[in-house]
Amino acid sequence: MTEILAKILTYGLPFIVLFTGVVWLIDILFFAKDRKLKVAAVEKKFSINEKKSEAEQKAYESAMAEAATEPVTVEYSKSFFPVLFFVFFIRSFLFEPFQIPSGSMIPTLEIGDFIIVNKFTYGLRVPILNSVMIPMNTPKRGEVMVFYPPHRPGVSYIKRVIGLPGDEIRYTNNVLYINGKEIAQSFVGKKVPEFGSPCMYYHSELTLVNESLGDKPHIMQKCDVPGELSRDGTWKVPEGHYFMMGDNRDNSGDSREWGYVPEKNIIGKAVVVWMHWEDFFSVPSFDTVGSIE
């Protein structure tokens, strides 16, 4: 349901905005003048007697309503266009809400977290085409990014930026190496695997560790017995692409599986959690509100 709604907003909203805007513009250019003339004619006709009888007043109001009435399509377009355009502008160029659909970013982000994605951090983009219109910053290692994966165009994914263009990434037994340097991990604690986790299949516990990729460390979790994608792999990130991984390392389909994310597929930077609402029948919570590290 979340994916369907996202697609409607991404691809349907621009066309609705365009349609209502064009209808309003055509009315202004070709039809609004005729209504104004009709209204002026009614005013002139009934202005002969300043003091109107009750019957004349009703006739005047009826004639005025008929002269000024807009077609239903025009009326609705004028009402909805400003609101829809505002939503379209904010969502396309500034900020976009996004709900976490899977557990691939646990413990940083839980299923049902509602987050805000900053759309202009990595440059202003042309709606739908997603090409950069005004370049700004480029993704930094360690940032949490929303993007379209290469194997599922139009479906939004969220992962952490691990590899930048030109980096050599190696991941062996849940230890990350970037350009030959091991990324240190510091023990945080143990955790019972969530239901459906590959750790249950391997009869393994979860270990939480601090991992430093950028300016600030983040917590990631891994099975004590590495999963298939975590045992051994080496990748060379091509220019204009990024290597993405989930913080739930053994329960995340990411660049280890489907490859690199091209720059043109970037949506924006995940910046803040503003609500948690797992499903329609649960109670929304604001306990996890805060910035995303």
119 is catalytic: no
Catalytic residue among 77, 92, 104, 230: 104
The b/e string for 55-89 (b: 16+ C-beta within 10 A; e otherwise) is eeeeebeebeeebeeeeeebeebeebbeebbeebe
103 and 246 Cβ atoms separated by less than 8 Å: no
For 203, the token pair is: 């009869």
Rg (CA), the chain: 28
Q: From CA 287, how far away is CA 16, in angstroms rounded?
A: 36
Please state, in angstroms and rounded to a whole number, the distance separating the CA atoms of residues 247 and 73.
49
Of 119, 127, 124, 125, nearest to 97 (Cα)?
119
Residue 16's identity, in one-letter code, is I
Q: Tell me how crowded residue 33 is: count the other CB atoms within 10 A of its CB.
A: 11
d(Cα 16, Cα 10) in Å, to the nearest integer?
11
Is 52:60 a contact under the CB 8 Å cutoff?
A: yes
| CA dihedral angle for residue 140, residue 141, residue 143, residue 148, rounded to 10 degrees | 80
Report yes or no: 100 and 247 within 8 Å, Cβ to Cβ: no
Residue 116 tokens, joined: 């805000």
Is 159 known to be catalytic? yes
**Catalytic annotation, pick one of 77, 92, 119, 159:** 159
Residues with catalytic annotation?
104, 159
